[in-house]
Amino acid sequence: MNKRIEEAYAKRPKNWVYNTVLAVITIGLIIWSAGVVETSGSTAGGGQIARNVLKGLFTPDLKFLFDFSTSGVPYLMLETLCIAFLGTIVGAIISVPLAFISASTLAPKPIAFIGRMLIMAIRTVPNFIYALAFIRVSGPGPFAGLLTMGVCSVGMVSKMYIEAIEDLDVHVVESLDAAGCNSWQKIRYGILPQLMPNFASTAIYRFDINLRDATILGMVGAGGFGAPLIFAMNGYRWNEAGAILAGLIVLILIIEFISTKIRVKLTRG
Amino acid sequence: MKLYDKIFRPTVYTLPNGKSVEKKASRAPFYALIVLIMCAVSVKITGFDMKILVTRIGQFFVIFQRMIPPKKEIMSAVWEPLFDTVKMSLIGSLVGSLLSVPFAMLASTNVCKNRVVVSIVRLMFSIVRTLPTIVTALIATLFFGLGTLAGTIAIAVFSFAYIGKLTYEEIETVDMGSFEAMEAMGSTKTRAFITAIIPQVLPFFLSNCLFNFEGNVRYAAILGYVGAGGIGILLNERMSLKDYSSVGMMLISLLITVFIIESISRYFRKKLV
Amino acid sequence: MIKFEDVGKRYPNGFEGLKHINLSIEQGEFVAIIGLSGAGKSTLIRTINRMHDVTSGKLTVDDVDVMSLYGKQLRRFRRKIGMIFQSFNLITRTTVIKNVMTAFVPDMPWYRSTFGIYNKEEKIKALECLDKVGILDKAFVRADQLSGGQQQRVALARTLAQDPQIILADEPVAALDPVTAKQVMDDFKRINEDMKITVLINIHHVDLALKYASRVIGIREGEIVYDGPASDVNEEVLTKIYKGKVDNEGNVQEEEG
């Protein structure tokens, strides 16, 4: 056998120790977590309940589904849509300054670090706690819901804004610098045109998520379809719950379709 | 948008040498108008009121102020549900992600040639994704009783749809050249898939799984609200007792946990992609 | 020996990719196939290892009727024919050596192929193949970090690892710059001469074809319009192949009539 080849073979990266350790840790974690699969025991007659639930969900209450008064599904969906929309806008606006001070490429290191910690803290507080806090401000209802949505959006949206800002193409700014622009002009003509499509796209993406997350708000009394849904489910009125879920699925599919279209347009120009 | 161009005529610039260029009217004002109208409708329906917000915003911070100082004694009761939350997310994410793989393959046009199957699987992913996790959790508690199992299942269902969608998008954009090369060397389709396609998709798949897990730890904290296990049960209980200093301690412990998990996950995701 | 007897290929949409091809290629020949894009070069090459089916006539490789093969037999048949692609078709996210070792996958037991476990013998052999194309030092680098020329050499090493008797190359240098293209062509030539492997190459660069190949086949609209030694290719022949668009320095000319 050729000597050079033997040498090359001997020089092969040997990372089996690392791989084995990683595998052992992963498997250990899985075994550790598997212990979690515990339950207070299936409620009596689980099968019967399951059948009722499925039957109700697949035969939605059509009268409720097509009730166009303020107590019907369409209005609930509209309300949720409005909460999510305005909440997203509020969140998207708050996120802009927060993202700029937390971007490590623009702001000084300590400030950026504090900004990031703040964003993380905002993200970690569960949304029903915000909802309860805002109910103290405005009383129960959609207003509290939209404020909650706003704050909850800040976490993810500003995180994605930061990434967009850090990925900025600085060569454009360089060329503007060379052309003799001042700081404001550099931001206006060099940075904003790059960021705008990205920011808009992020906001639309978050709008999608907010629609789904609106359920939990309703549960604590902050408006939207959550409250009627939970009442229906707790009262075992499964066809009512089915009607709300059907409305929700249709709404989300439509919004998702539109938002994907807009986002594709934004990124491709 | 032909209609738009008819209503708002393009501006025509004529150069001194007689040549002319057309500039279509900007659509920005049109889009801005739509957004404004939607805002106005939303303000009306949600009852948004700046005056209330400005005068009463102090109330928002009351709860958070009362969380300080956090009650350290509660920690002895926090450890278990906190770890339960992590475990639920881990096992739920794992099960959901693994289950999604065969379906993701069926939903990729370059692997599954049957258009009907592709659209059906995709529609299924979309519908499952629309189900709010909290609702899945609630239904799961009815099937499997209160406890962590219900939460785990809710997380698995969400992960299934989320990872499934990302994975089929990833498989679709894969370079099929190496697959063709494997076939030309005499591989069966299965082996060609395993050898040529999986190494291309795997790093993204694992990275997405880690990201999903990260997010699920946060989300699992909420699931306790419907009795589906984890720290949420305790949080909800303490909130309703207005024992805010305990809530504060729990939030701090959750924050630290999430921070650790995110750091580890980010380290591995950077290595992967 | 590869033998085409009145071979024709009609696509499902009715387009005739190949018409009445009669050809026989001896073991150890270096053949360049030239012609316009869409003339049928790719189709011709891909019928040999049956990546494409022929629809009429008879195609035999070492007296085996290619169209009679299926399943396992076909895959075993393909083992002795290597294929090189214009876009390299490497698994970009893994190391060079692992790419070369994929050549062993069809012969490995399923559990080793599934988990990608290779033994020392295979690793040494892969390294030897990389040495033959001069990129031994890149063995443990990720494939996507190499330049185009180096990637094509990895693909060549992968093909060598399967011990082929025939190498089919579909536009192997089309994506490379002139200098790298020359280096890769040198590799082909060396392999052809040292190991007596038949090389069939589709190529757009007429100058490279004439310089390296011993035999040139010209294809136009699915038919062979020239088949002979490279030294006999003159302007008249090229006019016939390229409908008068190229002279033998590769310059494009105005179409006549």
**Quick check: A94 contacting B, CB < 8 Å?**
no
A44 located within any domain? no
Q: Are residues A209 and A131 in the same domain?
A: yes
A43 located within any domain? no
DSSP per-residue letters across A229-243: HHHHHHTT-HHHHHH
Please give the average per-residue pLDDT across B243-247, as a whole number.
Answer: 89
Write down the pTM of the prediction: 0.79
Distance between C212 CA and the closest CA of chain B, angstroms: 25
Is the per-residue pLDDT at A184 higher than 80?
no
User: What pLDDT score does C257 carry?
Assistant: 34
Is the per-residue pLDDT at C33 higher than 80?
yes
Is the per-residue pLDDT at C254 higher than 70?
no
- When CB atoms are compared, the residue of C97, C128, C140 closest to A2 is C128
User: What pLDDT score does C104 carry?
Assistant: 87
Rounded Cα distance between C240 and A153, Å, is: 68
Q: Give yes or no for a contact between C146 and C90, defined as CB atoms under 8 angstroms apart.
A: no
User: What pLDDT score does B159 carry?
Assistant: 95
A24 CB burial (10 A radius; 0-12, 13-18, 19+): exposed
**Quick check: B64 contacting A, CB < 8 Å?**
yes
User: What pLDDT score does C256 carry?
Assistant: 40
User: Residue A128 half-sphere exposure, CB side, CA atoms within 13 Å?
Assistant: 27
Distance between B56 CA and the closest CA of chain A, angstroms: 5
List of chain C residues whose C-beta atoms are within 8 Å of the C-beta of residue B183:
51, 78
Q: Are residues A63 and A17 in the same domain?
A: no
| Bridge partners of residue C167, in order along the sequence | C82, C199
Rounded Cα distance between A208 and A226, Å, is: 16
Q: How do residues C97-107 score in pLDDT, each as one tens digit?
A: 888 888 888 88
Is the per-residue pLDDT at A118 higher than 60?
yes
**Quick check: B42 contacting A, CB < 8 Å?**
yes
Nearest CA in chain A to B144: A42
Is the per-residue pLDDT at C255 higher than 50?
no
Portion of chain C with pLDDT greater than 70, in percent? 95
B200–C114: do the CB atoms touch at under 8 Å?
no
Q: Give yes or no for a contact between C157 and C129, defined as CB atoms under 8 angstroms apart.
A: yes
User: What pLDDT score does B213 carry?
Assistant: 92
SS3 for B102-154 is HHHHHCCCCCCCCHHHHHHHHHHHHHHHHCCHHHHHHHHHHHHCCCHHHHHHH
Q: Are residues A71 and A29 in the same domain?
A: no
Fold of B74-272: MetI-like fold (1.10.3720)
DSSP per-residue letters across A159-188: HHHHHHHHT--HHHHHHHHHTT--HHHHII
Q: Are residues A17 and A57 in the same domain?
A: no
- When CB atoms are compared, the residue of A137, A216, A219 closest to B59 is A137
Q: Give yes or no for a contact between C93 and B200, defined as CB atoms under 8 angstroms apart.
A: yes
A247 located within any domain? yes
- For chain B, the average pLDDT equals 86
Exposure pattern of C15-49 as b/e (b: 16+ CB <10 Å)?
ebbbbebeeebeeebbbbbbbbeebbbbbbbbbbb
Nearest CA in chain B to A126: B222
A41 located within any domain? no
C102–B188: do the CB atoms touch at under 8 Å?
no
A42 located within any domain? no
Portion of chain A with pLDDT greater than 90, in percent? 7
Q: Give backbone dihedrals phi and psi of A132, rounded to 5 degrees, phi first.
A: -65, -40
- Residues for chain C: how many in total? 257
Rounded Cα distance between B212 and B189, Å, is: 30
**Quick check: A216 contacting B, CB < 8 Å?**
yes
Q: Give yes or no for a contact between A155 and A116, defined as CB atoms under 8 angstroms apart.
A: no
List of chain A residues whose C-beta atoms are within 8 Å of the C-beta of residue B90:
29-30, 33
Q: In this structure, what token pair is assigned to residue C12?
A: 């499902």
Q: In this structure, what token pair is assigned to residue B136?
A: 């899945």
Rounded Cα distance between B10 and B23, Å, is: 5
Rounded Cα distance between C33 and C47, Å, is: 14
Q: Are residues A135 and A237 in the same domain?
A: yes
SS3 for B166-215 is HHHHHHHCCCCHHHHHHHHCCCCHHHHHHHHHHHHHHHHHHHHHHHHHHH
A192 located within any domain? yes
B184–C49: do the CB atoms touch at under 8 Å?
yes
| Confidence band for A185, pLDDT divided at 50, 70 and 90 | confident
Rounded Cα distance between C11 and C60, Å, is: 20
Which one of C86, C91, C110, C165 makes the best mutation probe of the B interface by having the most chain B beta carbons within 10 Å? C91
Ranges of each domain in chain B: 2-48, 74-272
Q: How do residues A38-85 score in pLDDT, each as one tens digit?
A: 665 555 556 677 777 778 777 777 777 777 777 788 888 888 899 899
E strand or H helix that includes residue A250 = helix A238-268
A133–B62: do the CB atoms touch at under 8 Å?
yes
Chain pair A-C, CB pairs under 8 angstroms: 26
User: What pLDDT score does B134 carry?
Assistant: 85
- When CB atoms are compared, the residue of A121, A132, A147 closest to B63 is A132
**Quick check: A5 contacting C, CB < 8 Å?**
yes
- When CB atoms are compared, the residue of A4, A11, A12 closest to C131 is A4
Q: Using DSSP, how many helices (H) and how many strands (E) does chain B show?
A: 13, 2
Which one of A4, A5, A6, A12 makes the best mutation probe of the C interface by having the most chain C beta carbons within 10 Å? A5
Q: Are residues A27 and A133 in the same domain?
A: no
- When CB atoms are compared, the residue of B181, B187, B195 closest to C89 is B181
- In chain A, residues 148-207 whose CB comes closer than 8 Å to chain B: none
Q: Are residues A76 and A146 in the same domain?
A: yes
Q: Are residues A29 and A132 in the same domain?
A: no
| Confidence band for C17, pLDDT divided at 50, 70 and 90 | confident
Query: Which of A48-52, A181-185, C131-135, C244-248 is the most confident on average?
Result: C131-135
- When CB atoms are compared, the residue of A5, A12, A13 closest to C128 is A5
Q: Are residues A175 and A217 in the same domain?
A: yes
CATH number at residue A197: 1.10.3720.10
Is the per-residue pLDDT at C251 higher than 70?
no
Q: Are residues A23 and A125 in the same domain?
A: no
Q: Is the peptide bond before B102 cis (omega within 30 degrees of 0)?
A: no
List of chain C residues whose C-beta atoms are within 8 Å of the C-beta of residue A6:
124
| Bridge partners of residue B11, in order along the sequence | B23
- When CB atoms are compared, the residue of B178, B187, B199 closest to C75 is B187
The DSSP 8-state label assigned to residue C246 in this structure reads B
Portion of chain C with pLDDT greater than 90, in percent? 10
Q: Are residues A146 and A19 in the same domain?
A: no
A45 located within any domain? no
- Structural domain for A13, as ranges: 2-35
- Number of domains chain A is built from: 2
